[in-house]
Chains A and B, each alone.
Chain A
Amino acid sequence: MHNKTLSELSAALQAGEFSSIELTQSYLDRISSLDPQINAFVTVTEQPALDAAAAADKRIAAGTAAALTGIPLAQKDIFCTEGVKTTCGSKMLDNFISPYNATVIEHFNAAGAVMLGKTNMDEFAMGSSNETSYYGSVRNPWDINKVPGGSSGGSAAAVAARLAPASTGTDTGGSIRQPASLCGITGLKPTYGRVSRYGMIAFASSLDQAGPMTRTAEDAALMLNCMAGFDERDSTSAQRDVPDYTANLNESLEGLTIGLPKEYFGEGLDAQVGNAVEAAIREYENLGAVVKEISLPNTHLAVPTYYVVAPAECSSNLSRFDGVRFGYRCDDPVDLEDLYKRSRGEGFGAEVKRRIMIGAYALSAGYYDAYYLKAQRLRRLISDDFKRAFEEVDVIMGPTAPEPAFGLGEKSDDPITMYLSDIYTIAANLAGLPGMSVPAGFVNDMPVGLQIIGNYFDESRLLNVAHRYQQVTDWHTRTPEQFK
């Protein structure tokens, strides 16, 4: 059962080959026997999952099933889930039982999907290796001495190890695409505003976006169908109709124009990763696509700009963790200031504190213009690069990450080196564009992802482009040996 895609599982459930209870139990069994090796889950919701599966089986029997009815899924522990611990990978929220559901969770519940549990992640989604989690590092199923990427590392590892057929992630600077690349799965960050942020614990509000992490592009389309849509509870939710993302999957790529930004193939890119990406591009040429070299001249400014915008917004968002209303509170505070400072000082980990401090500094009196306003001006230049490019090309392709998964502990002492893991993914967040990572080969037995960036709200085309590639390649079907 665990080697089937979502669409195959859905068909098998409808045909009565097995029940949702049997399917859910088989994944719960895999989690209990295999997850200790990779630490992908913070919480496994066994009984609620079996209850939801029983309800799904009734719905399937009644003939009122939707595409995801009865399908077990893993949810990133950033989505609030009513009655279930929602930690965001932090000691700060170790005792937080959410009193409400995120909109994304409500959508999956309404579809009759089954939540297996909540996946591990970098603390407050700040990290590229999943090593900043209060609950310990997640390990890459392809080599347990390597990182799975981050921040959605648990979600990526769970799908790669076949502990869930699909999962959700969030992406502020690459947190869906980079772990998808490092774990050899398919990940989609939709256009900013496409999926509701309500109940998704905020990191950087002008960048955060949720999306699916799956084995195939077709599965990502099924997931996005369920996740996307306008939500009045999210003030930046996009007011536009949701198309059926599965409708155009099989369209021909004849005449598709692919832009290759020369800045994405220069210094800093592992040569073998570059070769794998170039081989994928040749596959697209075989499918009838036309390749065009383009330039995104402000690419080198994306990381510096991001490390002002994201920390500034995070310092503001994380001011809600005050030790008063929910979450961690220090012991025996002597006064209110002591309560704030020690609750936050003890509740947050080192990387979160670094980013809050950078943000507080960038927003402080006398520095706002030089940092935050400057970063916002550069953000427009970076965004304008893409606008110009999309006048000439349909999609942009390049590597998702500059190298395959690195070793646990290899970069955790050097924040700057870690930040450069997201060098190719950050710009799409600054511009608000949708981006995907698709398995495109292996380097030294570790997976490599191809990144595909699309124009605003062009997720259907991205999924079509990814799907056609997956029809002629089998990288996305590979499974790590000890998780087969």
Chain B
Amino acid sequence: MSLTQDDVKKIAHLARLSISEDDIPSYEKELSNILNLVEQMSAVDTSDVLPMAHPLDMVQRLRDDVVTETDHHEQYQGIAPSVENSLYLVPQVIE
């Protein structure tokens, strides 16, 4: 499995990662090598095997529908890069 430089750019966009043009050739090579390693998986027929998402067979616990969280917004927003009137600030999204 070999990726192209365009694939690398597309994946980086999907993952919302800026990568510099200079680094694209090395990502192309390293990601292709990892996918080649992973390619060993296809040698095994798994059509009858049930996928295992999780190591323990468990179901999600249910709990009573009551409020358990208390308000910590000042504490949590205190570590945010930019906050005003309890709102997280980002560059303007809507004109």
Count of chain B residues with Cβ under 8 Å from any Cβ of A? 51
Say which one of A253-261, A343-351, A460-468 lies at the interface with B. Answer: A343-351
- B52 near A419 (CB under 8 angstroms)? no
**Interface size of A as a range:** 35 or more
Chain B residues within an 8 Å CB radius of A315: 15
**Interface presence of B25 (CB below 8 A):** no
Quick one: which of A329, A342, A357 has the most chain B CB within 10 A?
A357
> Once bound together, how far apart are the Cα atoms of A345 and B21, in whole Å?
12
Interchain CB contact (< 8 A) of B91 among A235, A333, A383, A415: A333
A window 399-455: CB within 8 A of B:
415-416, 419, 430-433
Contacts A344-B18, A364-B14 aside, 5 further interface pairs with beta carbons under 8 A come to A307-B38, A374-B41, A377-B52, A378-B41, A416-B37
Interchain CB contact (< 8 A) of A376 among B53, B60, B63: B53
> Once bound together, how far apart are the Cα atoms of A432 and B57, in whole Å?
11
Interchain CB contact (< 8 A) of B49 among A303, A359, A380: A380
For residue B41, give the distance in angstroms from its CB to the closest CB of chain A: 5
Chain B residues within an 8 Å CB radius of A348: 17
- A329 near B49 (CB under 8 angstroms)? no
Chain B residues within an 8 Å CB radius of A358: 31, 34-35, 38
The answer to whether residues A354 and B78 also contact, given A344-B16, A376-B52, A381-B49 and a CB cut-off of 8 A, is: no
**Interface presence of B44 (CB below 8 A):** yes
- B19 near A353 (CB under 8 angstroms)? yes
Quick one: which of A315, A341, A359, A361 has the most chain B CB within 10 A?
A361
Can you name the residue of chain A whose Cβ is closest to the Cβ of B50?
A380
For residue A387, give the distance in angstroms from its CB to the closest CB of chain B: 11
The answer to whether residues A340 and B16 also contact, given A326-B79, A329-B81 and a CB cut-off of 8 A, is: yes
- A326 near B80 (CB under 8 angstroms)? yes
Can you name the residue of chain A whose Cβ is closest to the Cβ of B19?
A345
The total number of A-B Cβ pairs within 8 Å is 169
> Once bound together, how far apart are the Cα atoms of A377 and B19, in whole Å?
33
**Interface presence of A334 (CB below 8 A):** yes
A window 185-236: CB within 8 A of B:
192-193, 206-207, 232, 235-236
- B81 near A99 (CB under 8 angstroms)? no
**Interface presence of A102 (CB below 8 A):** no
Interface residues of A, dominant DSSP = helix
Interchain CB contact (< 8 A) of B80 among A325, A340, A357, A362: A325
Chain B residues within an 8 Å CB radius of A55: none
B window 5-19: CB within 8 A of A:
7-8, 11-19
Which residues of A come within 8 Å of B, CB atoms? 95-97, 99, 192-193, 206-207, 232, 235-236, 238-239, 298, 300-301, 303-305, 307-308, 315, 319, 322-327, 329, 333-342, 344-346, 348, 353-354, 356-362, 364, 370-371, 373-381, 383, 415-416, 419, 430-433, 456
Chain A residues within an 8 Å CB radius of B37: 303-304, 307, 416, 419
- A360 near B15 (CB under 8 angstroms)? yes
> Once bound together, how far apart are the Cα atoms of A206 and B13, in whole Å?
26
B window 65-95: CB within 8 A of A:
72, 75-76, 78-82, 88, 90-93
For residue A457, give the distance in angstroms from its CB to the closest CB of chain B: 10
The answer to whether residues A380 and B18 also contact, given A338-B91, A357-B27 and a CB cut-off of 8 A, is: no
Can you name the residue of chain B whose Cβ is closest to the Cβ of A361?
B11
Q: Across chains A and B, which 5 residue pairs bring their CB atoms closest together, nearest first?
A: A432-B55, A345-B18, A376-B51, A377-B46, A329-B81
> Once bound together, how far apart are the Cα atoms of A336 and B27, in whole Å?
25
The answer to whether residues A96 and B79 also contact, given A236-B56, A344-B17, A357-B12 and a CB cut-off of 8 A, is: yes
